[in-house]
Amino acid sequence: MKCAVCRGPAVIDLRRHNANFCADHFLKFCRDQVVRAIDEHDMIEPGERVLVAVSGGKDSLALWDILLELGYDAEGMTIGLGIGDYSTASTEAAVAFAARRGRRLGRIDLRGDYDYDIPTAAAVTRRVPCSSCGLSKRHLIDRAALDGGYDVVATGHNLDDEAAVLFGNVLHWHTEYLGRQRPVLAERIGRAGSGSERRVFPRKVKPLIRLAERETAAYCVLRGIDYIVEECPMAEGNRHLRYKEALNAVEAASPGAKQAFYFGFLDNAASRFAPDADGADGELRACGRCGSPTTGDLCAFCRLVDRAAGHDPVPVELVRPRRGGAKHRRARS
């Protein structure tokens, strides 16, 4: 197995590119794919300040590392989700990377700062943990980007993630989500209630869309980046992972199928659903508590805090989702 570039010994084969690479040229391949994604979708301008949403997993650490290697002014932000040992180890990986690279890592701890955690929020709301987790992360990272004056938020969604989300959106023909599933969400300017115009949502970009998760993992290994290998214990058996499995089966038989699926969507179908996303936006007001844009009186995050804060922590084991179930297993009191 020889490197497609230098003919030296290869360390990885990329079936969908029908190519093998040595370590150096694989790392270059990864950086090139990120450069191409950023360029093709106008994700980040030179000189802009980037806030990387860091979980401590392979994707977000690879993303942060690549952006730094490419010379971007990228700082990190991580959120302690309170999902037992998994969250502890995730935060440690993020902190270690930031220290090694000498970069600022903003930190929020849900339990310390807002008096709840994801297992407790899942138990209290009786919804899948991923629901309150996604909501919390989106809100807090958007907020940190706006407050910190960052031009853009970068997240580590990779090709497998985007293809699996797309598969889920297509399986249910969630036309609004299909209209919104783009590599870049533009920033939004608005009043969101009284006051002068201001940024109410930061631009959000996904520079890893051209890399598969096997590739971001290999990138971290080759770069000596310690990341948390375990999947989130609360995501086990969830739909997103099932969609990944189904697409993996297709990809195994037809290498490149995922890439064709996702980029074919962007090129040939996404615009047909854009009106559904635009139509769903409506006029935004300011959340009565935190000032974030919302369609109601209180934003979804403040409502979640209202419900979930102040409860005793619910152990992770009691809130694990059932295999195949959309709802979490009811926590015993």
Residue ranges in contact with a second copy by CB under 8 A: 170-173, 175, 239, 242-243, 245-247, 249-250, 252-254, 257, 260-261, 264-265, 267-269, 272-273, 323-324, 326
Minimum CB distance to a second copy smaller for 56 or for 321: 321
User: What counts of helices (H) and strands (E) characterise the chain?
Assistant: 13, 12
Q: How far is the CB of 318 from a second copy (least distance, A)?
A: 22
Question: What distances in angstroms separate CA 91 from CA 66, 105, 114, 155, one per listed residue?
Answer: 20, 10, 17, 16
Minimum CB distance to a second copy smaller for 219 or for 243: 243
DSSP 246-302: HHHHHHHHSTTHHHHHHHHHHHHTHHHHHHHHHHTT---EE-TTT--EESSSS-HHH
Minimum CB distance to a second copy smaller for 21 or for 265: 265
Q: How far is the CB of 13 from a second copy (least distance, A)?
A: 16
Minimum CB distance to a second copy smaller for 139 or for 182: 182
Minimum CB distance to a second copy smaller for 99 or for 326: 326
Q: Are strands 184-185 and 203-205 parallel, antiparallel or unpaired?
A: antiparallel
Minimum CB distance to a second copy smaller for 36 or for 272: 272
Asked if 114 contacts 164 with a C-beta cutoff of 8 angstroms, the reply is no
Cβ-proximal residues to 173 (8 Å cutoff; 6+ apart), any chain: none
Minimum CB distance to a second copy smaller for 91 or for 169: 169
Q: How far is the CB of 252 from a second copy (least distance, A)?
A: 8
Asked if 123 contacts 133 with a C-beta cutoff of 8 angstroms, the reply is no
Which residue carries 């199928």 as its tokens?
257
E strands present in 19-84: 19-21, 49-53, 73-80
User: Alpha-carbon distance 255 to 269, whole Å?
Assistant: 22
Q: What is the DSSP letter of 23?
A: H
Sign of the dihedral through C-alpha 21, 25, 29, 34: positive
Q: How far is the CB of 176 from a second copy (least distance, A)?
A: 10
User: Alpha-carbon distance 222 to 306, whole Å?
Assistant: 44
Asked if 128 contacts 321 with a C-beta cutoff of 8 angstroms, the reply is yes
Minimum CB distance to a second copy smaller for 102 or for 324: 324
CA 13 vs. chain centroid, Å, equals: 26
User: Alpha-carbon distance 20 to 76, whole Å?
Assistant: 32
Q: How far is the CB of 255 from a second copy (least distance, A)?
A: 9
Q: How far is the CB of 41 from a second copy (least distance, A)?
A: 18
Minimum CB distance to a second copy smaller for 99 or for 249: 249
Instruction: For residue 270, give both structure tokens.
Output: 């996404």
Q: How far is the CB of 257 from a second copy (least distance, A)?
A: 6
Asked if 180 contacts 277 with a C-beta cutoff of 8 angstroms, the reply is yes
> In 3-state terms, what secondary structure has residue 84?
helix
